[in-house]
């Protein structure tokens, strides 16, 4: 990471942050309840030439490990120490603030590449290619979820990810069975995300029921922290298991320990939750050494954070559908060159950023 930022080492930098809570177009059901607003700070780093890089610090309280009470003081520490940014990465303090670390990392990446919001130039940013993504189905009533499913299918999605665990299990199974009756696994890939909703006592039985529906994978069937129980599920389940919340707060050699004990089929990489791009690349390296699959997922970032995650993801050449494309959820989202074309996230290189919502 620091090698990519060597051009900034001798620069005279200044930094500031602005609070811009993200307001949902409509209430969205998650494993943390129904959200109407999401905390968001933008970190702006400038050099002596007037160029600026912008990063997004956007935690989800209750899921992200950060404490709301000391979040802004930590941001202020980063601002004060901005000319010593190598130390900020090296001393380990920001491990407890993964979304701030992501925001700092991406602001510096943006600045080091000219402050043009193109830290990873590629055929994606040139408008010549796109990233295949899964269609996300939010938690809610049966009618609400079925309506979303039909909208995603009409839009051309061939991979759907359904949040489960919000309504009763039989209803959720009926929804999944109804989809499978219309679309085979060759026509439509189904992923489900339990967000730890299953108990250790019932998880195996529910996974057995899901297996009959040719489910591609299930994210986090049981609560994080039960490594031995999760390992047993990964060994016995006919539905491949992906770890999500399990990775939160795991650093250094504990990453290898977790993967070696549980040995999941997949891991889910969320840069805002795991401490940035470099941290996710370390997870990828360890996973690939163990023949564990992976994909990248955004975490309800605005278009600014999503833009950097998408550009980085494209460079990884992962053929699986990625969990991106949440940038259309907010009323105060900065306009950007990102757009959805069916099931592909693309960039219009002729479109301009409108950063007024960020910079005021």
Mention every residue, 6+ apart, whose C-beta is less than 8 A from residue 1: 89, 105, 276, 277, 278
If DSSP codes are grouped into helix, strand and coil, which group holds residue 238?
Answer: coil
Cα angle for residues 280, 297, 359 (degrees, 5° grid): 90
| The residue count for the chain | 360
- Give the pLDDT confidence of 255-301 residue by residue, as tens digits: 999 999 999 999 999 999 999 999 999 999 999 999 999 999 999 99
Say if pTM beats, i.e. exceeds, 0.85: yes
- Give the pLDDT confidence of 23-72 residue by residue, as tens digits: 998 776 665 667 789 999 999 999 999 999 999 999 999 999 999 999 99
Laid out side by side, the sheet with 52-57 consists of 14-19, 41-46, 52-57
Rounded CA separation 195/216 (Å): 16
What local confidence, expressed as pLDDT, does residue 307 receive?
97
What local confidence, expressed as pLDDT, does residue 197 receive?
92
Q: How far is CA 269 from CA 175, 275, 320, in A?
A: 27, 10, 13
Q: Closest Cα partner for 302 from 349, 336, 347?
A: 336
Rounded percentage of the chain residues whose pLDDT exceeds 90 = 81
Rounded CA separation 197/220 (Å): 8
Q: Examine the pLDDT at 214 and tell me if it is beyond 70.
A: yes
- Give the pLDDT confidence of 48-62 residue by residue, as tens digits: 999 999 999 999 999
Instruction: Please name each of the domains of the chain with its CATH number.
Output: 2-112 (3.30.390.10), 131-359 (3.20.20.120)
Annotated catalytic residues are 163, 270
Q: Closest Cα partner for 74 from 43, 52, 49, 53?
A: 43
Residue 229 has φ and ψ, to the nearest 5°, of -65, -40
- Give the pLDDT confidence of 158-203 residue by residue, as tens digits: 999 998 887 889 999 998 999 999 889 999 999 999 999 999 999 9
């Amino acid at each position: 990471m620091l090698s990519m930022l060597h051009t900034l080492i001798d620069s005279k930098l200044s930094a500031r942050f602005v609070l811009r809570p993200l307001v949902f177009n409509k209430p969205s059901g998650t494993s943390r309840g129904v959200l109407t607003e999401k905390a968001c700070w933008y970190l702006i780093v400038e050099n002596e030439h007037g160029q600026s890089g912008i990063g997004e610090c956007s935690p989800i309280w209750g899921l992200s490990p950060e404490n709301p009470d000391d979040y802004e003081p930590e941001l202020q520490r980063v601002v004060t120490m901005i000319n010593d940014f190598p130390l900020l990465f090296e001393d380990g303090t920001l491990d407890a603030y993964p979304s701030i670390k992501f925001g700092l990392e991406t602001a510096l990446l943006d600045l080091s590449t000219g402050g043009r919001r193109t830290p990873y130039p590629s055929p994606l940013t040139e408008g010549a290619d796109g990233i295949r993504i899964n269609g996300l189905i939010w938690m809610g009533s049966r009618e609400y979820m079925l309506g979303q499913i039909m909208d995603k299918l009409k839009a051309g999605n061939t991979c759907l990810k359904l949040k489960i665990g919000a309504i009763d299990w039989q209803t959720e199974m009926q929804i999944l069975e109804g989809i499978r009756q219309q679309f085979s696994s060759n026509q439509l890939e189904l992923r489900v995300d339990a967000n730890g909703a299953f108990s250790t006592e019932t998880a195996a039985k529910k996974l057995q029921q899901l297996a009959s529906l040719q489910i591609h994978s299930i994210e986090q069937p049981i609560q994080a922290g039960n490594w031995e129980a999760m390992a047993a599920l990964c060994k016995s389940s006919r539905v491949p298991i992906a770890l999500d919340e399990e990775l939160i707060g795991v650093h250094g050699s504990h990453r290898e320990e977790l993967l070696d004990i549980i040995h999941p089929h997949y891991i889910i990489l969320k840069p805002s939750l795991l401490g940035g791009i470099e941290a996710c690349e370390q997870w990828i390296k360890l996973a690939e050494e163990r023949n564990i699959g992976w994909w990248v997922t955004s975490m309800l970032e605005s278009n600014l954070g999503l833009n950097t995650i998408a550009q980085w993801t494209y460079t990884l050449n992962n053929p699986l559908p990625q969990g991106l494309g949440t940038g259309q959820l907010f009323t105060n989202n900065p306009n950007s060159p990102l757009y959805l074309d069916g099931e592909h996230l693309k960039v219009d290189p002729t479109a301009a950023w409108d950063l007024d919502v960020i910079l005021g």
